[in-house]
Every structure is written in structure tokens, then in C-alpha cells.
Amino acid sequence: MAFLETEQSLIVPVYQRHYAWTSAEVQELFSDIIQVAIERRGSDKKWEHFVGSLVYVEVDDANANTQRVLVDGQQRVTTLSLLLLALATHVKDPLVRKQIQERYLLLSDKVTPKLFPVRDDRISYRQICVAAAGACTNDAMGSAGIDNSASIPKSYGYSQIADSYRLLCQLVKTADSINRQYRDNKNTVVAEDVDSLGDAVSRMGLNRRVSPTEILDALQWLTIAEISLDPELRSDNPQIVFESINAKGSPLSETDKIRNYLLMNNNLERQEYLFEHYWCPIEDRCRDEFGDDKVAHFVRYFLNWYVAPRCAVRSMGQVFLQFRRWVDARVDNTGHMNRMIEQIWQPMIDASLRYEYLFLD
């Protein structure tokens, strides 16, 4: 798991979709790790287990510190980081806990998390890091008084990261509890009650205890193919690679494609600025009363209202294609990207106010 031992920050850029692994995907990865842990018992054989690829490009920040910007693999990296946080809250040995945090989770200052999720998820992840640093129980978030939804702007929304962390804490506890015995308040030796976790136990095929230290050992045998892109090469262009990878995986929504196209070809600082000052206000205004994303519907309205009839969009499946054509024409006309705020972003901001008033208020 050398990729998490790096001294570089791991940045999930704002054009990426938010963390979205479901409980099924989290449990599948955890089950694979448990199997490695079981196979490792009493054996000197190398039980390497391939868990996918990590595609990144190295960039320097304002202080000339090199960062790794993740083009692909953020879901897996985030889940493994959450598992390490769950192990840190559950393991009893303070030295092991410290090793987990300093080796895998924190930068050399021993305070800053290595992983910087996309902005929607960053608040939840940092809250979990704070809770894990100060608590060692599986309900660390609750005991630390952390509310994942309180005082968070609507555009940041709800983060799946919190649910995955709670699930991983429960799975670590489950694996550590199988066939384990303890003394109750009458000093009677009884078996740990895991009836409520029976489904998870069945899915993992567990019939005996797997301790947190065994899980940590199993993580050392996970292998990830690390692919570093050279942005100077056209074949390594992050935009092209990102679109190619996601064309083969779960499809991006029209909103994902629009956000990606508007933000990706900017440096990190500009991405953050455009995301914070333009994308988030638009996204915030384009949610219905249930919090559902209506950005693609807004863009369809925007194209039909703002540039019609040249760019009439008759179906939702045409939204991104027509939007991309419109943006390309505007950028070509300006000759450079610096006027995108005036030519692209500001008209969308203005139209989003009208859209919210007409359709969502």
C-alpha cells in the first residue's frame, strides 16, 4: 500500500464526481481484505491482491510542494483511507494507532490529512479525521458530537463518506468479535453478540475472529497499479484520460460531464476559485425541495433561453453535447480562457437566478 505512504498530498480535484461507493462496494472490498488476512495466517507466502489502478498527475502548489492530483481511483483510495481511520479508532495499542495515522493518513506535519477529497466530501472527511484522532470507539463521530449535515451549505450536500466510515467501523468491530468471549457484569464468560451483524458475517464468510492488526497486515499486501501522467504529452492529457476511463466505467451524469468540462483544463487554484464562486452557487440554486440535482435541467433551460434557436436542446441526453459546442464556440471567439468568466460563467450565474425563481421557489 505504498501509494498511501507518500509524503505528497493526494488531491481529488473539484471536477471529479463526489464519493459515491455504496455499502455493497465497500463490503466487497472489505471482504477481499479479510480473505487476504485469513490466507496469510501461518504462511510465509506472499498473498498479493490487486485492487485496481490509480491514475494521477503531479503538480506543484504555490509553495512549490509537489501534489498528486487523482484522475482516477479516488473512490478506492478514499475507501481505504476510511478503513484505516476505522482501524485507528478500534485498535487498542496506541503505538499502532499512531503508526496508522502518521504512516498513511497524515502529512509530515502530523496534523494535515494526506487525502483532500472533492470539496463536497472534504468537510465530512476532516471531521472524521478529527474524531478518529481523539476517540477509539466505533461510534467516534457520534461521541464527538459531529453532525454531518449541520451548518453545511446546501451545495455541499450530504456526503456518502460518513456512511461508509460508519459501516467500516461496524465491519471492523464485527470481524474482531466473531467467537470472541468476554466477562459480563456477573463475571460470567459469554460469547460476543453479533446477531445484528449476521448478514455482514455471512457475506464475508467469517467463522472466526479477524483482529484489527490482522486487517492492517493484510492491507500491506494490496497492490495498486500507479500510473503517473505527463501533461505535456497529448496522450497523457488528463482530460482525455479522464473521459476515456469514465466511458468504460459507470456512466457520468450530464451534470458530471458539464462540471468536468468547465473546470478540468484549469490549474488547481483556478479550479477551486471557479468551483467556489461560480459552480457552487449555480448548483445550490438548482436543487429541488428534496435536494435533487437539477443542474442538467437548468443547463437545458439556459441553452434554450440564452442561445436559442442556435442551440435548441430537445432532450436531456443532448444537454452536454450542445453545451460543449456552445462553450467551444465562445472560447474560440475570445481566443483565450481568461474571459470565460465573462463569456461563460457570468451568464450562467445570471440565468440560474431566473431559473430558481421560475421553477424552484
Give the pLDDT of residue 142.
37
88 close to 101: Cβ distance less than 8 angstroms: yes
Q: Which helix (DSSP H) or strand (DSSP E) does residue 116 occupy?
A: strand 115-116
Distance CA 255, CA 341 (A): 19
Report the half-sphere exposure of 268 (CA within 13 A, side-chain side).
Answer: 20
Q: Give the DSSP H or E segment for 224.
A: strand 222-229
Pairing of strands 115-116, 222-229: unpaired
The radius of gyration of the chain from alpha carbons, rounded to an integer in Å, stands at 23
Query: How many Cβ atoms from other residues are within 10 Å of residue 312's Cβ?
Result: 12
Starting at the earlier edge strand, list the strands of the sheet with 66-72: 115-116, 9-11, 66-72, 49-60, 222-229
Q: What is the pLDDT of residue 154?
A: 40
Whole-angstrom distance, CA of residue 163 vs CA of residue 147: 12
Please give the grid coordinates belonging to residue 206: 467469517
Q: Closest Cα partner for 29 from 47, 46, 1, 51?
A: 51
Question: pTM to 2 decimals?
Answer: 0.78
301 to each of 78, 156, 298, 304, 320, how far by Cα in Å?
35, 23, 5, 5, 12
Predicted local distance difference test score (pLDDT) of residue 338? 65
- Tens-digit pLDDT string for the chain (361 aa): 788 998 899 999 988 888 989 999 999 999 999 988 888 877 776 667 888 888 898 888 777 688 999 988 999 999 999 999 999 999 989 999 999 999 999 998 888 999 999 876 998 999 898 887 764 333 333 333 333 333 333 443 468 999 999 999 999 998 988 755 444 455 444 444 444 445 555 555 566 789 999 999 999 988 888 888 876 655 556 666 666 666 555 667 899 889 988 988 788 888 889 999 999 999 999 988 877 789 999 999 999 887 765 567 878 888 999 999 888 887 765 445 567 888 899 999 999 999 999 998 7
Q: Which amino acid is at 179?
A: N
First to last CA, the chain: 49
Q: Check residue 248 and give its pLDDT.
A: 53
The reported pLDDT for the residue numbered 51 is 84
Backbone angles phi and psi of 113, in degrees to 5: -60, 140
